[in-house]
């Protein structure tokens, strides 16, 4: 039997709605508390360079509000490294970041950016932060993650989420093969991006995956059925697929 699949809830878009009016409602901290109450396994938050959703002061407030591990998504920059070392989240997921993008559009080029990433991965690891690299399900990128001694990789499921028919099956196989290869090499595989009630189950059924990080869909669905129900339904679908 496969191990239990953890669900990390990305609460960025609660902050997106808050920031739309410039005030303090809805508060992502309240979302983090609900995630804890409904048995979510972690809080994921992306402090973007432009601070379009989560802001610096949110991090400490989220950490103080729940016992859940915080997975900080961050670009590989000096500024973000300094913030991560100050806040010491449980985990840091290094993501590529482009100012003009609407969301994280592709995986990190761990292979092409080895020299830039190495000191950041080392500094985070030395501080006891569990480093994850957000990469495409591609053997070159996985090998690069191994060379960087990252204990975790998160596979970008965006292409899978957007593909149809046979192309979707191809993407799924790619993720499943890479998850197996990661686990075989002692790297814990995670996955995330673009996951919904409709597309989560084939991903959740990949036995080596240890964690999914899901945000936009859960927060969107919460508008209609509430955050608690939205997370519970995702949890049930994940459990059913296992």
Shortest Cβ distance from residue 35 to ligand PXP (Å)? Answer: 14
| 217 binds ligand PXP per the rule CB under 6 A | yes
Q: Which stretch binds ligand PXP (CB under 6 A): 120-128, 174-182, 190-198, 224-232?
A: 190-198
Set 13, 46, 53, 190: catalytic member: 46
| 199 binds ligand PXP per the rule CB under 6 A | no
| 92 binds ligand PXP per the rule CB under 6 A | no
Helices 78-87 and 114-126 cross at an angle (nearest 10°) of 10
Task: Report how far residue 239's alpha carbon sits from residue 62's, in angstroms, rounded to the nearest whole number.
Answer: 27
Q: Which stretch binds ligand PXP (CB under 6 A): 56-64, 176-184, 198-206, 212-220?
A: 212-220
| 93 binds ligand PXP per the rule CB under 6 A | yes
Shortest Cβ distance from residue 216 to ligand PXP (Å)? Answer: 3
Q: Which stretch binds ligand PXP (CB under 6 A): 83-91, 120-128, 170-178, 208-216?
A: 208-216
Task: Report how far residue 230's alpha carbon sits from residue 97's, in angstroms, rounded to the nearest whole number.
Answer: 28
Q: Partners of 152 in the beta sheet?
A: 132, 188
Shortest Cβ distance from residue 1 to ligand PXP (Å)? Answer: 26
| 46 catalytically annotated | yes
Residues that bind ligand PXP (CB under 6 A): 10, 12, 46, 73, 93, 95, 103-104, 134, 154, 192-195, 213-217
């Amino acid at each position: 039997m496969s191990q239990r699949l953890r669900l990390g809830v990305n609460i960025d878009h609660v902050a997106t709605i808050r920031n739309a009016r410039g005030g303090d409602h809805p508060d992502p901290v309240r979302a983090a508390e609900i995630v804890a109450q409904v048995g979510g396994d972690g809080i994921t938050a992306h402090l973007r360079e432009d601070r379009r959703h989560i802001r610096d002061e949110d991090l400490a407030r989220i950490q103080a509000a729940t016992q859940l591990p915080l997975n900080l998504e961050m670009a590989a920059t000096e500024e973000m490294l300094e913030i991560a070392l100050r806040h010491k989240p449980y985990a840091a997921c290094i993501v590529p970041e482009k100012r003009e993008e609407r969301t994280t559009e592709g995986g990190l080029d761990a292979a092409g950016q080895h020299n830039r990433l190495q000191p950041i991965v080392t500094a985070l690891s030395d501080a006891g932060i569990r480093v994850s690299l957000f990469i495409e399900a591609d053997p070159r990128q996985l090998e690069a993650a191994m060379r960087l001694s990252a204990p975790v990789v998160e596979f970008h499921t965006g292409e899978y989420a957007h593909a149809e028919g046979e192309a979707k099956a191809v993407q799924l196989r790619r993720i499943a093969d890479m998850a197996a290869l990661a686990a075989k090499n002692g790297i814990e595989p995670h996955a995330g991006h673009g996951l919904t009630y409709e597309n989560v189950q084939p991903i959740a059924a990949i036995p080596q995956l240890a964690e999914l990080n899901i945000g936009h869909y859960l927060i969107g669905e919460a508008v209609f059925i509430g955050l608690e129900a939205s997370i519970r339904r995702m949890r049930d679908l994940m459990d059913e697929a296992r």
